[in-house]
Structure 1
Amino acid sequence: MAAGLSFIGCAGWSLSRAVQPRFPPEGSHLQRYAGRFNAVEINSSFYRPHARATYERWAGDVPEGFRFSVKLPRGITHERRLAGCGPELDGFVQQVAGLGARLGVLLVQLPPSLAFEPATVRAFAQQLRSRHAGPVAVEPRHTSWFEPGVDALLRDLQWSRVLADPVLHEAGRWPGGWPQRVYLRLHGSPRMYYSAYEPALLQALAWRIVQALDQGIEVWCIFDNTAAGAAVGDGLALVQALAAR
């Protein structure tokens, strides 16, 4: 069995002055960021569209093995709530196609109020698949999504269910859906978006990731505790821990 691939990074590539000495000295922030990480999650696409040319420029700033995860716009997930959003999907998929082979995963983050409705999910998945053949990860937050039957449907769709920390529902302590891809989003704990993770937790996380890689599973781990700059330090510590193993 071939080993899986790991993609470690942050939500965005902002580098504070304090961490910049840990990155290559030349280039844009993205180019410097990509000197230490092999993935990034674009969250700004949730709030506003980016021109295809912008995605093309970003793709040109990173090495061949680097991958982007891109969050779907809120107009699709929070306003349309996955229903009747064909024109919005057309625009978004056309834009992110500018990343070419460096597009890794589309991230579908759902509002906490959006309960699971199988017909809506199947119809949306069909619409998305007809426009995009690549990997999809979904981050549901309503309790109805954390049931065995839902997990079976996500496996059929080959969608990964995000494991997000802090955990909102007991069943969310483990990743779900498509088992060949694990997508972790770490928001910081105990204070979301601010707190750094303890070194012991990052070491344990590295051990779990190595176990998954040995089983041929692809693992994404994105640190979203960016409000006070903790994400970059945590990400670098995890990269180092994985290298040591």
Structure 2
Amino acid sequence: MTETRIGCAGWNISREAAPSFAGAGSHLQRYAGVLNAVEINSSFYRPHQPQTYARWADSVPDDFRFAVKLPRTITHDQRLLEAGALLDQFAAQAGALGGKLGCVLVQLPPSLRLDTAVADLFMRQLRQRFNCMLACEARHGSWFGDEASALLRGQRISRVIADPPVGQPGPYVATTDEAYIRLHGSPRMYFSAYDQAYLQSVADWLRDHAGWCIFDNTASGAAILNALQLQKMQHSR
């Protein structure tokens, strides 16, 4: 089974978490000495130079992996239309991570309804440029039916498991063998920490499923503490 990857949306180390990340080096170097994955969210808002990605890749161990969020210019401004040139630019930038690029994350706007022709072309373009895991966090209900599942499955794109849940109520339908979980914080998104019982339920689920678990409840420093808790549960199984 593929290694479970646990990390945060960013590598900031809070004061409370600092004792678990002792040692010299940058925040990223210290973070990567303990956790095995991170999600780069800043790429959603602004581009990073290839040399920046290369420097990050050189800062982490060989078995560490980055997930990189697709720019909002593609998902929210272009709404997946005529995105070839923008995808080329992004691939040239994030591709500098080399073999440490573990996943490209596509987060769609809540208002973006599934258009199968547009989505199929876009996903093909994305797959042509990236040989890593691809994950899609769609937030409109139309992306959670059979048609969308078949499209994502056909392009080998993992449907994100999000908390709080979005889209269409009902059981999660996997579209690849590797899951991508994004925990945003609940009840207050981006702020609330997850309690021991919830984290145990995630750990139990991960015992039987391969994939990533990324904590996005970063606003109050809860993410990195929750990631450490989940990692401890994984190691104690």
Please indicate the TM-score interval, normalised by the length of the shorter structure: over 0.9
Q: 1:27 aligned to 2:25?
A: yes
The partner residue of 2:64 within 66, 75, 81 is 66
Task: Check whether the contact 1:163–1:175 (CA below 8 A) recurs between aligned residues.
Answer: no
Structure 1 CA distance for aligned equivalents of residues 212 and 173 of structure 2: 11
Query: What's the secondary structure of 2:68's corresponding residue?
Result: strand
**Which runs of structure 2 are paired with 1:170-181 in the superposition (5 Å)?**
170-171=168-169, 174=172, 176-178=174-176, 180-181=177-178
Letter in 1 for 2:165: V
| C-alpha separation in 1, matches of 2:143 and 2:207 | 28
Q: Which residue does 1:119 correspond to in 2?
A: 117
Q: Which amino acid aligns with 1:124?
A: F
Instruction: Tell me how far apart the structure 1 counterparts of residues 26 and 224 of structure 2 sit (CA, whole Å).
Output: 16
CA distance in 1, matches of 2:169, 2:107: 17
TM-score by length of 2: 0.97
Tell me if structure 1 keeps the 8 A contact 2:142–2:167. no
**CA offset digits 1:34-68 (Å, max 9, x no partner):** 11100000000000000000000000010011000
Does residue 1:167 correspond to 2:165, yes or no? yes
Which residue matches 1:75?
73
**Match of 1:152?**
150
The alpha-carbon distance between structure 1 residues 142 and 33, as it changes in their structure 2 partners (threshold 3 A), is same
CA–CA distance in structure 2, aligned partners of residues 10 and 220 of structure 1:
10
Task: Please list every run of 5 or more consecutive structure 1 residues that lacks an aligned counterpart in the other structure.
Answer: 213-217
Looking at structure 2, the residues matched to 64 and 233 of structure 1 have their Cα atoms a distance apart, in angstroms, of 24
Moved more, 59-68 or 144-153: 144-153
Compute the RMSD of aligned alpha carbons. 1.1
Aligned match of 1:86: 84
**Structure 1 residues 40 and 175, CA gap change in structure 2 (3 angstroms):** farther
Alpha carbons of structure 1 residues 172 and 96: separation in structure 2 relative to 1, 3 Å: farther
Q: Which runs of 4+ in 1 moved over 3 A?
A: 169-173
Q: 1:128: Cα distance to partner?
A: 1.5
Q: CA deviation at 1:74?
A: 0.3
Match of 1:202 among 199, 202, 221: 199
Amino acid at match of 2:228: L
Does structure 2 conserve the Cα–Cα contact (< 8 Å) formed by 1:110 and 1:139? Answer: yes
The answer (yes or no) to whether the contact 1:112–1:142 under 8 Å persists in 2 is yes
- Given that 2:41 and 2:68 are in contact with CA atoms closer than 8 Å, whether structure 1 keeps it comes out as yes
Q: Does 1:141 align with 2:133?
A: no
Evaluate the alpha carbon distance shift between residue 121 and residue 170 of structure 1 in structure 2; reply closer, same or farther with a 3 A threshold: closer
* C-alpha distance in 1 between matches for 2:105 and 2:153: 16
Matched-pair contact (CA < 8 Å) for 1:163–1:172: no
Match in the other structure for 1:233: 225
Matched, 1:190 2:187: yes
Q: Is the contact between residue 175 and residue 182 of structure 1 (CA under 8 Å) also seen in structure 2?
A: no
**Could you tell me which amino acid in structure 1 is paired with residue 225 of structure 2?**
G
Match of 1:215 in 2: none
Listed as ranges, the gaps of 5+ residues in structure 2 are: none
Letter of the structure 1 residue corresponding to residue 220 of structure 2: A
